[in-house]
Structures are given as structure tokens and as C-alpha cells.
Amino acid sequence: MNKMNIPALRGEIGGTIYYTSNLKFSQIANLVKRIDNELHTSLSLKDEIQRALSDNYIKIKQYILTQSDHFFNALVLAVYDGQPEWTEIRYELNDEMFSDVGILHFNGNEKIFPVDGQHRVEGIKAALKENPDLSDETIAVILIGHKSTPEGMEKSRRIFSTLNRYAKPVRLGDIIALDEDDIVAITTRIQLEENSLFEGARIKSSNSKSIPASDQIAFTTLMTLYDCHLELFKLYKFNGNVSANKLKDYQRIRPEENEISNFNAYLAEFWNKMVLYFPELSQYLKDKSVSPAARYRNSENGGSLLFRPVALLPFVSAIMKIGEKYNIEEILRNISKINRCISSPLWEKIIWNPATRKMIMRNQSVVKGILIHMYDSELLSSKDKEVLYSKYALIHNITELQAKDRINKLTL
């Protein structure tokens, strides 16, 4: 490491002095090393820290290379050895004195490792190897001191674990509301603004996928709507044949505007056809009362499959699976013949508990399997059928042979 001077802001929290600055990508690549023996001297513990560095950095590399307006939050970097020095520059502006602004001097013997941001560091390094023109881009860094003593190692470990323990994954609701790369989030927002089925209180926004019993207005929840659109996107883009990882990778990069527009049109057509073929949806749209969903979601007869998030998602997912072979409008026309009252014998004990008059949440795969089996059993593999018969038998306390016979008699 060469001698280096960087402008920085000095701060203190919980007894830890830190400096906030910017480093170029080239500096990150040249100066920041992987964690080695800075947190542990035990070989097995050092290996455990290294194993935490997953292939996620490759996705970060791709994000940097493919997304022109890429952005990251600050790296937390620990500095040890050498003798970094701080020169404070005090200045006055409009009779107000500003301090804690200055220059941090490195003598060239310092070593730096990431306490938070290992994957971002490795992603930056990998991206630079493929595109050296990125070298002058900058990223915010927070620099803290580290000492190679038992006490110093303990302190750095505590910071490391605290930052990772309390880091929260981004909530799905936030992704839907804010993500500008995920085509499903983008088009869901458009549908919320343009489709009358989703306007106002007709979509319940909450941290849960369930709708409170007191809500007699909402059609479904925001998270369920997004998940339904994700199922539609799998068929639209990949004809249903896509791995979870490939799908997530695709959602990380904003597609061309015409693809967004085309998929949004696909969603609009799907929901328009749903309203056309399912009377409860068209009646719900026409209902101007204060409780338009009460007829279709209640504790008397349970209401319609479509107004229960736990049933709507497997219902749409089943349609998309069938759509790999059949025309969507044809599917909707035919599947609309199925009894959708959740207290009917078809759905009792699967998603509706007749004794408690409450929903059963754990059998979504059975709902999907029954719908597909009723439409075309050949769309299910032998293993899928075995699992379906087994779960159905357990639900109804019958043998698997009886379950198979009963399911085979279910037709449109």
C-alpha cells in the first residue's frame, strides 16, 4: 500500500471512532483484502468466515456490469497496522464553526479488510477485471480502527456480528413499491394504478399475505397479487420452465421498456378475462356498497376461492401450469365451471375447517394439484400424483388408494 491522503468526516459512536469517506473502485481492488486472521487465529474459524463469502459476489459483479445506474450502500472497512493520522480542518461559514472535517493520512503500512460488505468488495474486484473503465467510480466507506490484540479482535468480531445479525432483508412490500429493475414489481405497480380491480382499498397493503376478517372491501393482498404476477411471468417469459435462481437473476436487471409494456398488457388481458369468466369478480366490481367483498369472504360459507389469498395464488399457479399446454382463455372458460365455494365438499378440510369456520393455510399445494388433476392429470408427473394422493389421504383420513379413486372422479 502506498502513502495516501483522503478527505473524510470524523465521527464517534459507542466509544468507536470512525471516518466516513469515498474510495475509488481501483482503490478498493488494490487496498482491501479478504478477512484472514484478523478476527480469529483458529484455522477452522477463519475458514468459516471465508465460507460465508458465497457466489453472491458474482451477481453483484453482473449488476455492476449490466446496470448503468448501479448503487451500493457504504462499506465498513477495518484498518490496522501502520499509523493513520488525522488532520482536522476547521472552517467557519456564516458565523458557524464546522469541525470533524479533515484529511486522513495513511503511511503505506496499513492493512484493510471488510467488516461489512465482503460480497460488494469481491463483486467490485471481479467487475473491474472485466471492465477497467470502472476504476474511477467511487463508493462510500466507513473506516474503523482494528488492533491485532485479543481485545481488538473481540471488538472487531462484535462489530462484524452486529452488522450482520441486525441486517434485515428487504421486505417484499418494499420491493413491490420501489424496485425499478424487477419487471414483476414494475408491472404490479402499473396494474395498481390502471386496473379497476385493484384500485383503492381493493388491494390490501400489509406485512401479511392474509386479509383481516374485519376487511370487507379488499379483493386480495398486495403480496399475493405480486406472487400471482410472478406466476404469470414464468409462463409469459419462460413457458413455466425456469429455475428459481435464473428467475431471480432476470429480476435484478431492468428489461427494455417494450418488454415491460408487453408484459403489462399480458397481465391486463389476464385479469380482464378473469372478470369476464368469473361472475363474483364482475359483481364485486359493480358493487358500490361499503362491504363489496362480504359476500365472497365470510365466516358463514367461507365465500369464493378467489377472495382468499391462500387459495387465489395456487388457483392462478394451477392455471399457469395448465397454460403450458392449453390456451389461457380456454382454461379460464373451462375452469370457471369448478365449484369455488370453499365450504363445498370439494374444498372442505383442504382449505376450510367446517368446525371452526376458519381457513386452513397449509394445503396450497393440494389446491393447485387438484385443479391441475381435474383439468388434465397428464400434466402432473407420477411423483406429483403420488404426493397429491398421499396428502389428500392424510387430510381426509383415508387410504391413498381411496384418495386416488376420489380424486380421479373429480372432473370439470
Per-residue model confidence (pLDDT) at position 109: 80
The 10s digit of each residue's pLDDT in 145-182 is: 876 677 765 666 667 666 666 666 777 887 888 888 89
Per-residue pLDDT for 78 more than 80?
yes
Helices (H) and strands (E) in the chain, counts: 16, 13
Q: Could you report the per-residue pLDDT of 354-374, keeping only the tens digit for each?
A: 999 999 999 999 999 999 999
Q: How confident is the model at residue 15 (pLDDT cuts 50, 70, 90)?
A: confident
Which residue reads 465498513 in cell numbers? 76
Per-residue confidence (pLDDT) for residue 57, from 0 to 100: 85
4 band by pLDDT with thresholds 50, 70 and 90: confident
Angstrom CA distances, 20 to 75, 102, 124, 251, 267, stand at 10, 11, 19, 32, 46
If you average pLDDT over residues 1-15, what whole number do you get?
A: 87
Residue 87 has pLDDT above 60, yes or no: yes
The pLDDT, as a whole number, for residue 40 is 47
Say which DSSP state 410 is in: -
Which of 295, 352, 310, 281 has the alpha carbon at shortest distance from 210?
Answer: 310
For position 295, what pLDDT does the model report? 94
Residue 106, class by beta-carbon neighbours within 10 Å (0-12 exposed, 13-18 middle, 19+ buried)?
buried
Q: CA 285, CA 292: separation in Å to the nearest integer?
A: 8
Question: What are the Cα distances from residue 331, in Å, to 304, 336, 338, 368, 374?
Answer: 18, 8, 11, 14, 12
Task: Tell me the pLDDT tens digit for each residue of 128-145.
Answer: 999 999 999 999 999 888
pLDDT for 364-408, tens place per residue? 999 999 999 999 999 999 999 999 999 999 999 999 999 999 999
Percent of the chain with pLDDT over 70: 89
List Cβ neighbours of 100 (8 Å cut-off, separation of 6 or more). 9, 10, 11, 88
Q: What is the structure's pLDDT at 162?
A: 65
Contacts 24+ apart (CB under 8 A), 360-363: 361/210, 361/310, 363/391, 363/395
Query: CA 71, CA 140: separation in Å to the nearest integer?
Result: 10
